[in-house]
Structure 1
Amino acid sequence: MFKKIWFQLHWFIGITAGTVLMTIGVTGALLAFREEIMDLLSPGVMHVQVRQQATLTPQQVLEKLRQEEPQRRITTMTLSAEPGDSVRVVFAPPPGERRGQARYVDPYTGALLPPVTGMEFFEFTERFHRWLLLPTEIGKIVLGTLALCLLMLALSGLYLRWPRRALSLRAWLRLDFQLQGRSLLWNLHSVIGTWSLVMYVIFATTGAYWALDWFKDGVNTLAGETRRAPMARGEGKKKDGPNNQTPVALDLTQAWNAFLTKAPDYQSAQLRLPEQGTQPLQIFFLGHDAPHERARSRMVVLPQSGEIKQLERYEDKSTGGRFIAAIYPLHMGTYFGLPGRIIMAIASLMMPLFGITGWMLYLDRRRKKAALRAERAALGEPQQQAGGQLLVAYASQTGQAERIALHTAARLRRSGVAVTLQALAQTTAETLRHHPRLLLIASTFGEGDAPDSARGFERRLRQAAGQSLAHLHYAVLALGDRHYTSFCGFGHTLDHGLRQCGAKPMFPLVEVDRMDAAALRKWESELASHGLDAAVSDLLPTSSPTWPSWVLVERHHLNAGSQGEPLFHLVLQSADSSQPAPAWQAGALLEVMPRHAPDRVALVLQRLGLDGATEVHCRGMRCSLADALACSVLPMQAAADAQTLAQQLQPLTARSYSVASAMQDGTVQLLVRQQRHEDGLGLASGWLTEYAPLGARLQARLVDNAGFAPVSADTPAIFIGNGSGMAGLRGHLRQRIHAGGTRNWLLFGERNERYDFLYREELQAWLQQGQLARLDLAFSRDQEARIYVQDRLREAAGELRHWLDQGAVLYVCGSLDGMAAGVDAVLTSLLGETGLQDLIEQNRYRRDVY
């Protein structure tokens, strides 16, 4: 359970904060080599040709600039002891601006050199990197939060990928490009993440230091350092009396000579120039042996007399002071010289890799889970039969092992075998003692590890070593990827553990490399030789899915005037009246093939210079080029002719929507929220709610959603959702009410009651007629304090426990961010982690969230 929580936190932060962190990483890599890039773009500006003459003193440079720019005051002057390095000066900012212009000056002539190419770009990049272009105080808080999110991602990623052989460098650090699919993505994500872990911890902690004042104060306190208060306005001015009003011109000669007596071998010196010659001058400088660019000493000197008022040398700093000074070099990598900068820049550039692979892993996981739920429902859940002679147990990470177990159990049940189907996580030694035969289908995670859900069984099996399971005959189908060192490692662990307990194998373990057909057929034949008919090779894909036609017959805007995006109620009928109406269960999904808006297709055709009416062959069908483009990913480049273009087109991906009606209604009804992006309406929502005319034919197919499947009408059910999540809840309610079920409790949330009370008349009628036992509503914007659906659930804690004690099933449908997470948190606080886990294991907590 603890690992599941960390996994949920890791992917949630990864797909939210991680998306922004990708851009911060890229900008950070650019800033790491800002000086080199600008120098390359502006030859002869930041560095000039070395000459056989002495460089100008700071006072001479100041006088030259006063002649060339008499109206502008210089606030900072940076000089380098390296021959040929230009003098960098910063002018006072104009009124209303925070930063003054930075320019470079020829150190031999004092001439103002041309502006550096790219400086404005890098200033913009730095503002984005440090504040996301937000106001400074807000940007600091946001960036500090993102830095802490990066720290959480790094540490949680380390915990989640901790291998069983923690001392094996191969398990930690080996990249394997021979892997394919999800295995390759996981390998890239986890191994490169391990390589970059130290760098990301440094990025996160040093970034939080600058962005969050409380974090900085805490670090400074631990280091025994306090921040120097900023110099107050007017500090250092001479206060001899009211007649001291005449401004004194700044002369740097005495101050510079005094500086050279104390630091004759300096590397660089930054002079912060006061407005008047009577005010003290601050000089920050690097000694010849400074370990990094922030190992600076500080001198305060009076320009008129050259008297040194204060001298703070870096080498005299405390250990804590040196640590504070090293924070910036650590962040940039300069603490370790050029190799450190390169390493940190590469780590920054790697951030998009983690974002992309993380998203791909997340979407793949969702897709496989959806397919698994659909397959489970299509096969029919094999029931656990009392006294069943055969136990089929599975351990699955992505759903493949569970699919095979479902097919195996379903096929055995049809052949008359009494079968118990169970996840390995729920299997105990006591369970094994009550079954004489066991079929194990087990995936391996990573380098020989158990899937997350099966770690508990692995531990229980080790603890049971020496106990007698001599009555048990078993077979193991081990799934894995041969490119991993410990191919099918967890399957072999199970095989070894069962042998240790005296269990007898029916035949040797069967290894399957990435759903290899030959290995699956070997499993079938071995089972058949023991009188078990369990065909599983039919899991391999044989044909493409079909897409029936549906007619859009109604479309109504339900929340006109709402603060939120428009919500539309759609009604679809099967286009083939000669065929029986398609059947589905409550909770089902409708997968819709979207189409591009006609005006967007027309713009593409105009850009490509092609005629949309041209007949083409596309994906085995003959149609117009415009039709082919409408249902394809729009091309970015032109082709030689229309047919060549049609052959290159890739089909659009289907979008899934919860069905908001029951089969008894005779129509498929949807509740679709119109999505709006910078370039217009969302592809699928725009097509369904705006562009598709009434009477249009849509390509769509019904998909069962086993993880959100209905229960019998006499079982109490609690439905919780918000926004368009009402669709999945309404489908359940309508089916239950058609069946005469009345133990229905709905908790629904939206923004405003006036505009967003979806299906108001229908819900109120059900409530009045006793078909809805309870209705709790949360309209968050109707009062000053925001109230959400999870708050209503917390307020009804006593009633919730009462319903759960009576065997109620919980259904949650709607947004994952906010609502679903909030409901999860409330249930955990009310029931405890164990109580919530019990609901999950009993399949009484069913969610359809997005």
Structure 2
Amino acid sequence: METASLSITKPIPPKKTRPNKNPKTKSRGSKLNAWLHLWLGLSSGIIVFIVSLTGVIFVFCDDIIDIISYKAWYVPDIKEQRLSPEELITHFKEQFPERTPFSYIHYRDPERTVKIASETENREFQFSWMDPYTGKILDSNQAYDFFYVIAHIHSGHIPFGAIGNLIVEIAVWLFFIELITGLILWWPKKWNKTTRKQSFTIKTGSSFKRLNYDLHNVPGFYSLIPALLITITGLIIVNKPLQKSTHHIFDGTPAAFRKIRELAPEYDKTKKWTSIQPIITDLFKKNASAEQVKMSIPEKDSATTYMAIAAKNIGLKGLHDGKVYLINRYDGNAIPIPNKLLNGLSIDNTNMNLHIGFWYGWWGKCLTFLVGLVCTCLPITGFIIWYGRRKKNKKTNA
């Protein structure tokens, strides 16, 4: 009889397995970045939307003002002699006694009309185009007043008053952080064909949710650098410490335009004013590339200077290829301006041109306009993303 042999074997211990890490688990830094992007966007979204929208409207302000009255750009007939600027101002006051002219633009082209800016006691602004040979006003429009209101909404002065600038400044600082955190959120963890396609293209024909998500991310990435430029230049305008630091770096003086007026000579009632036309002629000679000369019209008889600008193009805010002068009304000569003040003017002008798209003609304006549209839409598309996820979470919890 055979006996069965029994073999005793030791039990095999179970293999130690490490817990599987969820690849979708975010780090603390990623969570903090996403939290900042969400709540800073929600808290500043309405202000950013208004500031961006008014900025978009303002980009083509000069072109819109001129196009409305394009028929009055040129005179019907060129005569042998023009009326003097003093005579033109007198004719303007006769035709618009309720308005006070405060500046006018004289063009190098003899066929161009003179463009006069004026206001009422209630600060309603308008531009008028006058025939320099007859003194007749060919056209006027109040688009100037419309863009004046838009600019004050953009700065927060309307409707918040004196505290409006601070409200807008805080919102712009938050938007600056939004742009940085948005780039971090957009940045793919892995670069491959799929992630490149998702990050750089908008998936057309997809669901509304996916389309809105792409419209938030893809245009936001492409407009990041110019949007940062517009944001930073805007902060330099409204933030005094940042403005002062910028002028310090480039050896300029903040608020140079206001400080230049302090160089004006004292009023002397025994002296007479010199004629304006020789001043304009001289400025055109000094600036060969200038197509326009803008002269201020002093509000008071005791004002002893003119502010003059000779430039290729002069806008409501922007100035292209130009120079600012302080002219002595007694002798018609330019008052010497210290280099620090001139640098300050140049810094402010360059910063403003970069902010409003005046830096490269139509191309600069078009780029600024498109970037402004993207910045206007970002709060909307971002809110829709947040609202959709919030609604989905409520359904899941239920």
TM-score bracket for this pair, using the shorter chain length: 0.7 to 0.9
Residue 230 of structure 1 is matched in structure 2 by 258
Letter in 2 for 1:263: N
Contact 1:299-1:312 within 8 A present in 2 as well? no
2:332 corresponds in structure 1 to 306
In the alignment, structure 1 residue 327 sits paired with structure 2 residue 351: yes
Q: State which of 320, 323, 327 in structure 2 corresponds to 1:297.
A: 323
Counterpart residue identity of residue 323, structure 2: S
Distance verdict in 2 for CA 1:73–1:355, change over 3 Å = closer
- Tell me if structure 1 keeps the 8 A contact 2:233–2:352: yes
Of 137, 160, 185, 2:185 maps to 160
Residues 259-298 of structure 1: matches in 2 within 5 Å? 259-274=283-298, 275-276=300-301, 279-286=304-311, 293-298=319-324
Quick check: 1:56–1:107 contact (8 Å CA) kept in 2? Answer: yes
Q: Distance in 2 between matches of 1:211 and 1:303?
A: 33
Q: CA deviation at 1:299?
A: 2.2
Residue 179 and residue 143 in structure 1: after superposition, are their counterparts in 2 closer, same or farther (change >3 A)?
A: same
**What's the counterpart of residue 4 of structure 2?**
none
Superposed CA deviations along residues 245-290 of structure 1, whole A, max 9, x for unmatched, are: x6856631343343344235522111123334871222111159xx
Which residue identity does 1:146 align to in structure 2? Answer: A
1:193 is matched with 220
1:283 aligns to what SS in structure 2? strand
The CA distance in 2 between the partners of 1:53 and 1:239, in whole Å, is: 37
Q: Following superposition of structure 1 onto structure 2, how do residues 379-778 of structure 1 map, counting pairs within 5 Å?
A: none
Point out where structure 1 has 5 or more consecutive residues left out of the alignment. 375-850
- More helix per residue: 1 or 2? 2
Where does residue 137 of structure 2 map in the other structure? 112
Q: Which amino acid aligns with 1:2?
A: G
Within the candidate set 44, 50, 57, 1:30 is matched to 57
User: Does structure 2 retain, via aligned residues, the 8 Å contact 1:251–1:304?
Assistant: no
Residue 71 of structure 1 deviates from its aligned partner by 7.5
By how many angstroms is 1:351 displaced?
Answer: 3.4
Give the alignment partner of residue 7 of structure 1, picking from 20, 34, 41: 34
Q: Which amino acid aligns with 2:334?
A: I
Aligned partner of residue 146 in structure 1, secondary structure: helix
> What's 1:552 paired with?
none
Q: Which has the higher strand share?
A: 1
User: Counterparts of 1:127 and 1:176 in 2: how far apart (Å)?
Assistant: 39
Superposed counterparts of 1:315-394, under 5 Å: 322-374=346-398
TM-score by length of 1: 0.39
User: CA contact under 8 A between 1:294 and 1:326: conserved in structure 2?
Assistant: no
Give CA-to-partner distance per residue, 1:665-693, whole Å, 9 cap, x none.
xxxxxxxxxxxxxxxxxxxxxxxxxxxxx
Amino acid at match of 1:149: L
Partner in structure 2 of residue 826 of structure 1 = none
* Deviation, structure 1 residue 193: 0.6
What fraction of aligned residue pairs are identical, expressed as a percent?
A: 18
RMSD of aligned C-alpha atoms?
A: 3.5
Partner residue of 1:130? Answer: 155
In 1, Cα distance between equivalents of 2:191 and 2:159: 43
- Aligned residues of 1:281 and 1:302 also touching (Cα < 8 A): yes
Contact 1:258 1:308 in 2 (8 A): no
CA 1:86–1:213: 2 relative to 1, 3 Å: farther
Is the CA contact (8 Å cut-off) linking 1:56 and 1:108 kept in structure 2? yes
Q: CA deviation at 1:191?
A: 0.5
Give 1 or 2 for the bigger CA radius of gyration.
Answer: 1
Residue 181 of structure 2 aligns with an amino acid whose one-letter code is S
Match of 2:276 among 252, 271, 283: 252
| Offset from partner CA, 1:61-101 (integer Å, 9 cap, x none) | 2343355456865332222335654423234663xx56765
CA 1:277/1:267 → structure 2, altered by over 3 Å: closer, same or farther? farther
AA partner of residue 377 (structure 2): L
Count of aligned positions: 362
Unaligned runs of 5+ in 2: 1-27
Which amino acid in 1 is paired with 2:292?
S
Residue 294 of structure 2: SS of its match in structure 1? strand
In 2 relative to 1, CA 296–42 (structure 1 residues): closer, same or farther, beyond 3 Å?
Answer: closer
Distance in 2, matches of 1:359 and 1:353, equals 10
CA distance, structure 2, for counterparts of residue 226 and residue 126 of structure 1: 24
2 CA distance for matches of 1:200 and 1:31?
16
Which residue, 130, 137, 141 being the options, matches 2:166?
A: 141
Task: Give the secondary-structure state (helix, strand or coil) at the position aligned to 2:223.
Answer: helix
Please give the alpha-carbon distance, in whole angstroms, between the structure 1 residues aligned to 2:214 and 2:296: 51
By relative contact order (CA 8 Å, sep 6+), the higher-ranking structure is 2
Listed one character per residue, the Cα deviations across residues 522-550 of structure 1 (whole Å, up to 9, x for unaligned) are xxxxxxxxxxxxxxxxxxxxxxxxxxxxx
Letter matched to residue 334 of structure 1: F
Q: Distance in 1 between matches of 2:334 and 2:67?
A: 39
Secondary structure at 1:103's aligned position in 2? strand
* Structure 1 contact 297–312 (Cα < 8 Å) conserved: no
Match of 1:173 in 2: 200
- Give me the whole-angstrom Cα distance separating, in 2, the residues matched to 1:302 and 1:132: 34
Task: Confirm or deny: 8 A CA contact 1:255 1:305 kept in the other structure.
Answer: no
User: Please, what TM-score do these two structures have when normalized by structure 2?
Assistant: 0.77
Classify 1:107/1:176 alpha carbon distance in 2 versus 1 (closer, same or farther; 3 Å).
Answer: farther
The CA deviation at 1:220 is 1.8
- C-alpha contact 1:84 1:107 (8 A) present in aligned 2: no
C-alpha distance in structure 2 between counterparts of 1:282 and 1:107, whole Å: 21
Aligned to 2:8: none
